[in-house]
Chain A
Amino acid sequence: MISYIGSFLILLALLNASLLVLSKPVLSKITSGYDALILSTSKLQFPLVLIAFICLIISFVDDDFSLKYISSNSNSALPFFYKISATWAGHEGSMLLWCLILSFWTFMASIYSKSLDMQFRIKFLSVMGFLNLGFLLFLVFTSNPFEKNISIPIDGKDLNPLLQDFGLIVHPPMLYMGYVGLSVVFSFAVTCLLQNDFKKEWARWIRPWALMSWSFLTLGIALGSWWAYYELGWGGWWFWDPVENASFMPWLITTALIHSLITCEQKSMFKNWTILLSIMAFSLSLLGTFLVRSGILISVHSFANDPARGAFILLFLTIVVGGSLLIYFRNSPKIKDNISFDFFSRESFFLINNILLVTATFTILLGTMYPLFLDLLGLEKISVGVPYYNAVFLPIMTPLALLAGYIPILFLSKNKDKKYLINHLFMSLLVILFLSFFSMIFFDNFNFSTLLGVFIFIWISFNIIYDLIKRYYVSNTRNVFFINIGMTLAHLGLAVFILGATIVENNKIEKEIVAKIGETIKIKNYAFKFTNLSQYEGPNYTGIKAQFLVYENNTLITELYPEKRIYASNDMPMTEAGIDPGLSRDLYITLGSLINDDVWSIRIYHKPFIRLIWLGALMMVLGGVLSVLSKRKRMKIAPLR
C-alpha cells in the first residue's frame, strides 16, 4: 500500500520538475506571473521526494517483498537499522536518495536566493529544475525502487554483509550531499553565462555553497576511508579504486574552485576560469555517478552492471556537460574579465594552486580511464593502481602542500609580496637540506618521505600559527584568531592529514605469522598473546572469535577480538579486525585462515599516527563549515543587482 503512495509521489515530483523547467520558456510568452510558479515548484520538489523516500523506508521495515528492490536487498532476519539503511544500499534506492538530496539543495537554493535579481534567480532555479527532471526521468524509466516483482518471494535475499555496518550507512548520504551540492554552483555558473555577466559580488554569494559541498565531500570521503580501514581487514585507507577516484576528482576541483572564488571576489579576476571550474566540478560528479552504475570499470563499489542504464546516464551527462560547455565557449568572451597580474604576488599563488589541483585531477582521470582506453583499442588489458598514483600524484601535490605555508602573505601589505616570497622560498630549501643531512648522519633508518611529511606539517602549521600570534601582539585583539578561523582550521587540518599519511605509510609495521593458542607475538615493545578461540552464532552469521591479550612493556593494556564471520547469504568469509585505536598509533590484528588443527595465520599491524589522517580530514570539514557560518554572521549580504 505504502509503496503505491511512494510511486505516485515520484510521478508527482516528475510533473513538478517539468513545471519548474518549462515555466519560463513556455509561460513567459503567455503571462508574466510565472515567477511565483517557479518559486513554489522549486520548493515543492523537496517534500514530494522526501515523503516518497520515507515510503520506501517504511516498505523496507515492513518487509514488503512485493517490491523487487526490497526483495533483492533485504530479508526478514536483517536487523532493524540495517533494514532502514538498506534503502540506499542498492542502485535504485541510492538513486532515489540522490534525487532527494538534489531536491533538498534546490529547496535551499530557492529559499536563500532572495537577494538575487529576479531574472537571474528564475533562470538559476530553472537550471536546477532541469537537473531534477533528468534524474527523476532516469529513476522512473530505468531504476524505479517501487517496481513490483512478478511473483512475490517468501523472503528476500540478504543485504551484502559488507554493507551491514555503521560507517557504510553514513558514508553515501554525506558523499551525495557533497556531489549534489555542486549542482548549485553549476547552475549558478551556467546562469551567469546565460546572462553574459559575472559580477564579483556573485562570487561572494556562491562561495558558501561551494564550501558546504566541499565540506560534505571531505566528510564523505573520510568516512569511506575510515570504514575501509576497520572493515576490510588489511589496514589500508585508500586504494585509488576507480570509484574512490571519482569522488576525489570533484573534491580537488572544488578546492580549486574555492580558491578561485576568492581571487574572483577580491580582485575581479579569473571570472571565466571560475565558471569553468564550477562546470567541471559538477561534471565530474556526474561522471562519478556514471562510472559506478554503468559497469564500465572494475571496482569494489560497482552496482550491478547494466549498459542500458549506463547509456541513459551517459546521454544525460553529454547533454548537461556538453550543453554547458557549448554555452561556455559561446558566452564567456562576452564576460568582462581580467587575468593579468604580477608574477611575484599573492595572485600567483592562487593560480599555481589551481594549476596544480587541475593537473592532479587530470592525472587521476588519466589513470582511471587509461585501461579502458587501451582495451577499446584492442591492446592488452592493464591495471593502473597504487604504485602509479604514488609515483605521479605525490610529486604534484608536494609543491601544493608547500604553498599552504605561504598563507600569512595574505595579511601583508602588497608591496612586501615579492620580498616575502623570495625569503621564504630560500629559507625553506635551506632548512630541508640541513635537516636531510643531519638526519642521514644521526638517524639509523632515515627515510626522506617521512622527513618531507614532517617538514610540510611543521612548515604549514608553524607558519600559520606563528603569523597568528604575531598579529595578535600587533593588534592586541583576539579577533585575529577568529576572523579566518575556517581557513586556518582547514589548512591546519591539511597539515595534520599529510603528517599522518606520510608517517604511517613509511613507518608502519606489518607482520604475518602462524600461531596457535598460548603463543605470544612481539612487535616493538608490544606483546600479543593468543589466548582463546571460540565459535558463536550472530543474528545472520556464524562467527569465529579469537582473543588476544595485548601487553605494552609487559603491562596488560587491552584485549583484542579479531573475528571471521560467515554469513548465510555469502560464501566468502568476512574479516572483523581487532583494533586498539590511539592518536599516536593503532594496533590492528586480523585472523587469517586455519592452517591445520589449531594453527592459524595471523596478521598484526602497528600503524603510527594513522588517526591523524581522519583527524586532519575532520578539521578540514569543520574549517569549511566555520567558514560558511562566520561569513554569514559577518556580512549582511547586500541585495545583488
Chain B
Amino acid sequence: MKIKIPLIIFIFFISILFFGLFIETKLIQSPLIGKKLPNYELVELNTGYKSDIRMLPRETFLLNIWASWCLECIREHNTLTIINEDKKLKIVGVNYKDKREDALGWLSIYGNPYIYNIYDYTGELGLDLGVYGVPETFLVDKNRVIRAKYIGAITNDIYQQEIIPMIEKINEDD
C-alpha cells in the first residue's frame, strides 16, 4: 500500500519527539574515561609544596573539584565527610579558581575530608580535566587512569550505588 512508507516515517518521527520529552538530559559523558591523568606540576594548597603526578595516592581514590564560592559543594560536603570516615577511599581535592585564603577558611568552617588539596588558581588543571561546573568528581585508579566521572554533588546514594560497586569492579580487574 502506498501509505505504508509515509506512515512509518511519521510514526518514527513522532516517537522521537515523544521519547525525547522524557529522556533524562544525560550529562555529557567525559571523553577522559580510560585515559591517564595529565601530568601537571601540582601545587599543594596549604603548604605551597610543588610536585607532580607522583604526589597522588598509589591506590584508587577520588579527585574532587571544588571551590569556596560553590554552593553545591557545601551540599556535597556531608557525603565527602562520610566517605572519608568510611576509610574505604581517599579523597584528593582540587581547589578550582579560588583564593587561597577563602579556600582555607572554607575548609576550617566546614571541615576537611581531603588528604590534601591541589591549588588550581588559574583553572588550567580544570580545563585539562574537562571541568565545566563544580563540583565534579573523578574516580581514579592506582595507575592514575580515570575510571569514572560524576558531575554535580555526590550524594550518599551515588556513593553507595555507584562508587562502591565501581571500586569493587576496579579491584576485580586487577
Measured CB to CB, the residues of A under 8 A from B are 290, 294-296, 307, 310-311, 314, 317-318, 321-322, 325-326, 329-330, 369, 372-373, 375-376, 380-381
Q: Which residues of A contact B2 (CB under 8 A)?
A: 329
Residue interface mask B1-17, A partner, CB < 8 A = 1? 01100110010001011
The 18 sampled A-B contact pairs (Cβ below 8 Å) are A294-B20, A296-B21, A307-B21, A310-B21, A311-B18, A314-B14, A314-B18, A314-B21, A317-B14, A317-B17, A318-B14, A325-B10, A329-B2, A329-B3, A329-B7, A376-B23, A381-B26, A381-B29
Closest to A298 in B: B25
Q: Which residues of B contact A376 (CB under 8 A)?
A: 16, 19-20, 23
Complexed CA–CA distance, A329 and B2 (Å): 8
Closest to B28 in A: A381
Complexed CA–CA distance, A380 and B33 (Å): 13
Closest to B22 in A: A307
Q: Which residues of B contact A375 (CB under 8 A)?
A: 20, 23, 26
The answer to whether A380 and B29 have CB atoms under 8 Å apart is yes
Q: Which residues of B contact A329 (CB under 8 A)?
A: 2-3, 6-7
Q: Which residues of A contact B7 (CB under 8 A)?
A: 329
Q: Which residues of B contact A310 (CB under 8 A)?
A: 21
Q: Which residues of A contact B6 (CB under 8 A)?
A: 325, 329
Query: How close is A272's CB to chain B, nearest CB, in angstroms?
Result: 12
Measured CB to CB, the residues of B under 8 A from A are 2-3, 6-7, 10, 14, 16-23, 26, 28-29
Query: How close is B158's CB to chain A, nearest CB, in angstroms?
Result: 20
Which of A296, A325, A326 has its CB near the most chain B CB atoms (within 10 A)? Answer: A296
The answer to whether B16 and A372 have CB atoms under 8 Å apart is yes
Complexed CA–CA distance, A56 and B28 (Å): 41
Query: How close is B19's CB to chain A, nearest CB, in angstroms?
Result: 6
The answer to whether A322 and B17 have CB atoms under 8 Å apart is no
Query: How close is B4's CB to chain A, nearest CB, in angstroms?
Result: 10
B3, B20, B28: which contacts A296 (Cβ < 8 A)? Answer: B20
The answer to whether A294 and B26 have CB atoms under 8 Å apart is no
The answer to whether A314 and B29 have CB atoms under 8 Å apart is no
Query: How close is B64's CB to chain A, nearest CB, in angstroms?
Result: 24
Q: Which residues of A contact B17 (CB under 8 A)?
A: 290, 294, 296, 314, 317
Q: Which residues of A contact B29 (CB under 8 A)?
A: 380-381
Q: Which residues of A contact B16 (CB under 8 A)?
A: 369, 372-373, 376
A321, A326, A372, A380: which contacts B20 (Cβ < 8 A)? Answer: A372
Closest to B2 in A: A329
Complexed CA–CA distance, A318 and B14 (Å): 7
Q: Which residues of B contact A322 (CB under 8 A)?
A: 10, 14
Query: How close is B97's CB to chain A, nearest CB, in angstroms?
Result: 15
Q: Which residues of B contact A296 (CB under 8 A)?
A: 17, 20-21
Complexed CA–CA distance, A310 and B20 (Å): 10
Complexed CA–CA distance, A307 and B18 (Å): 9
Q: Which 3 A/B pairs are nearest by Cβ-Cβ distance?
A: A329-B3, A296-B20, A307-B21
Complexed CA–CA distance, A317 and B23 (Å): 20
Complexed CA–CA distance, A326 and B26 (Å): 35
Q: Which residues of A contact B14 (CB under 8 A)?
A: 314, 317-318, 322
Complexed CA–CA distance, A290 and B18 (Å): 11
Closest to A290 in B: B17
Complexed CA–CA distance, A273 and B20 (Å): 31
Q: Which residues of B contact A314 (CB under 8 A)?
A: 14, 17-18, 21
Query: How close is B6's CB to chain A, nearest CB, in angstroms?
Result: 7
Complexed CA–CA distance, A307 and B29 (Å): 24
Complexed CA–CA distance, A314 and B6 (Å): 18
A311, A325, A381: which contacts B21 (Cβ < 8 A)? Answer: A311
Q: Which residues of B contact A326 (CB under 8 A)?
A: 3
Q: Which residues of B contact A372 (CB under 8 A)?
A: 16, 20
Query: How close is B72's CB to chain A, nearest CB, in angstroms?
Result: 16
Query: How close is B123's CB to chain A, nearest CB, in angstroms?
Result: 15
Q: Which residues of B contact A381 (CB under 8 A)?
A: 26, 28-29
Closest to A376 in B: B19
Q: Which residues of B contact A325 (CB under 8 A)?
A: 6, 10
Complexed CA–CA distance, A325 and B10 (Å): 9
Complexed CA–CA distance, A322 and B7 (Å): 9
Query: How close is B85's CB to chain A, nearest CB, in angstroms?
Result: 36
Q: Which residues of A contact B22 (CB under 8 A)?
A: 307
Complexed CA–CA distance, A373 and B7 (Å): 19
Q: Which residues of A contact B23 (CB under 8 A)?
A: 375-376
Q: Which residues of A contact B10 (CB under 8 A)?
A: 321-322, 325
Closest to B14 in A: A318
Which of B2, B3, B21, B26 has its CB near the most chain A CB atoms (within 10 A)? Answer: B21
Complexed CA–CA distance, A528 and B7 (Å): 61
Q: Which residues of B contact A317 (CB under 8 A)?
A: 14, 17
A294-B21 in contact given A318-B14, A329-B6, A369-B16 (Cβ < 8 Å): yes
Query: How close is A261's CB to chain B, nearest CB, in angstroms?
Result: 22
Closest to A330 in B: B3
Closest to A379 in B: B29
Closest to B17 in A: A314
Complexed CA–CA distance, A311 and B16 (Å): 12
Complexed CA–CA distance, A380 and B29 (Å): 7
